[in-house]
Amino acid sequence: MIQRHKTAIRRNKLSRPVNYLIDRGLLSKEMTFFDYGCGHGQDLQILEKNGFGKVNGWDPYFKPQAEKVSSDIVNLGYVLNVIEKTSERRDALMEAYAKAEKLLCVSVMTKSQKGYEGQEHGDGVLSSRGTFQKYYDQSEIKNYLESTLNTDAISAEPGIFLIFKSEKEKLSYLDNRYNRPVTLEVTRLDPITREPRKVRVFKPKLEELIKESAFIQPVMEFVLKHGRVPSPLESDDFKSLIDEFKSKRKIENIILDNIDEEEFLDIRARRIEEILVFFALRRFDKHGFPKKSDLPLSLELDIKSFFTNYKDCLNKATQLLFSLGNDRLMREAHKHITIGKVLPDAVYIHPSYVKELPAPIQVKVGVAQTLLGEIEGCNLLKINKMKEKVSFMVYEDFQKFAHPALLYTVVVDLPKLTTKLWDFELRENPPILHRKETFVGEDFPGYEKFRKLTKQEESKDLLSRNDIGTRKRWEAILEENGLKISGHTLKKL
């Protein structure tokens, strides 16, 4: 008899899927949460201790009497992979989906998470403890979820998928996931207390009062993100400005007058590019492009501002997607890369700067992410120029290690829609990185110390050699030259 309950793990921290939901703002304290197959219930206990008061769970072994309640979010965490009967597996998925009012989060063990030991049993393996495990390919579980539920399963991270009940909420999540983070330093609060304040000015001008309003900063941030002034229907802060000062046109003029014209045009161009990349990737959703009526309001108004109509937007997005198969267009796109380490066969870049790449290359990376999801700790991408492959690489901490070692990399083969893990973590002599500043922008934390270390190493003629790529050989070269590295500084022994 299969001992399913023995797969339940005792933890003192949140599971990966629940932590992801909170980290991405998908699960808040105001929402109801149900853990389908909660095991020992650690996630529920930790959530309750941290102020999440609307959480429940059920488990066939540990909490069989608990009621299976419908909730905003249902978590089906590492359940499907321990059920050996395919019919029961499907029933569990269907029931969990039926209980989810907003979002179902499904997580499974993947083949990249090791653990193949055991005797073959059905489509999985039996362990010596009498437990069953099925290890999924990323594309296999995605296809299974979508074919069973007849809706999109979004890859969040390897083995973690999100199934939204609302098309609008799905599109909002995806739009935010691919947006560039934009910040603006505009003082709208008291410089000392940082609290909103009312000011009295002798014969004040309307422009001065608007600039000092507590509502102006979030409106300016919206403009810098979207490349347009918001509608009162989508921005309560903009509506408050209009209610307070009664002059919508004056407010719009003041906002635009305080943004450099070239910067504003660049913001608009970037937002158009973001939208095209976003919709190019929607072609991979189960039902293709979303209906216009399902679009979030801000996205719908963006399209209205920047395109002739919705059809025009989708046509341009389709052209962008098809550019991936055009060698000439892709070669041209690679010529316009201005950030990252560009080599004849590939581009190496920190994930933070993908949005600075030409749109066709963004789509290429986005297609890989659609299959794989987010790789925790990924700090370098390899985008192959000659092959349709993207590698998600995890190195040791850039800030802590002067020459971080490669821990593992996941390679996505786009034509085959497959992934392959290369694990270096236990190797005695792993590959290491040099010239870290070449993979990032000048605004990256630690950029200057990376650059200074490279200059020191170049001055000692250490980087011109072709045998510096592994940890042991690099350490030997330093010792041969009577040198060592302390922090990010080259010193004599």
Stretch 157-185: mean pLDDT, rounded?
78
Model confidence at 9, pLDDT cuts 50, 70, 90, reads low
Predicted confidence at residue 208, as pLDDT, reads 58
- Give the model's confidence band at 178: pLDDT under 50 very low, under 70 low, under 90 confident, else very high: low
pLDDT in tens, 304-313: 999 999 999 9
* Whole-number percent of the chain with pLDDT over 90: 59
pLDDT recorded at residue 200: 38
pLDDT grade for 13, boundaries at 50, 70 and 90: confident
Mean per-residue pLDDT over the chain, rounded: 86
d(CA 427, CA 83): 34
Helix, strand, or coil (residue 390): strand
User: 272: pLDDT confidence band, cut at 50, 70 and 90?
Assistant: very high
Yes or no: say if 370 and 279 are a contact pair by the CB < 8 Å rule.
no
Between 477 and 252, where is the model more confident? 477
Report, as an integer, the average pLDDT of 237-265. 80
Element holding 216 (H helix, E strand):
helix 216-226
Helix (H) or strand (E) holding 221: helix 216-226
116 pLDDT above the threshold of 70: no
Task: For residue 278, give the amino acid letter.
Answer: F
pLDDT of residue 185: 34
* 3-state DSSP percent of the chain in helix, strand and coil, to 5: 40, 20, 40
CA atoms within 13 A on the CB side of 466: 0
Question: In this predicted model, what pLDDT tens digit does every residue of 403-446 receive, in sequence order?
Answer: 999 999 999 999 888 899 999 988 999 999 999 999 999 999 99
203-244 pLDDT, tens digit per residue, is: 334 455 555 666 777 888 888 889 999 998 998 888 888 877
State how far the Cα of 85 lies from the Cα of 361, in Å rounded to an integer. 42
pTM: 0.74
Q: How confident is the model at residue 182 (pLDDT cuts 50, 70, 90)?
A: very low
Mean pLDDT of the 63-70 span:
93
Q: Are 422 and 407 in contact (CB under 8 A)?
A: no
Domains of the chain: 4-165 (3.40.50.150), 167-325 (no CATH), 337-437 (no CATH), 442-492 (no CATH)
C-alpha distance from residue 129 to each of 77, 132, 133 (Å): 21, 9, 11
Mention every residue, 6+ apart, whose C-beta is less than 8 A from residue 395: 379, 380, 401, 404, 405, 406, 407, 433
Phi, psi of 416 (to 5 degrees): -85, -15
Confidence of residue 137 (pLDDT cuts 50, 70, 90): confident
Burial of 73 (0-12, 13-18, 19+ CB in 10 A): buried
HSE-CB of 274 using CA atoms within 13 angstroms? 23
Q: What is the structure's pLDDT at 211?
A: 59
According to the model, what pLDDT value does residue 6 have? 47
Low-confidence winner among 130-139, 208-217, 451-460 (lowest mean pLDDT): 208-217
Name the H helices within 258-393: 261-282, 297-306, 310-322, 327-335, 359-372
The yes-or-no verdict on residue 198 having pLDDT over 50 is no
Decide: 35 and 48 in contact? Cβ < 8 Å.
no
Per-residue confidence band for 110, with pLDDT thresholds at 50, 70 and 90 = confident
pLDDT at 187: 32
Structure tokens at 352: 């933070």
pLDDT value at 268 more than 50? yes
The torsion of the CA quartet 443, 445, 448, 452, rounded to 10 degrees, works out to -140
Give CA angle at 420 (417, 421), nearest 5°.
Answer: 150
- What H or E segment, with its residue span, contains residue 459? helix 447-459
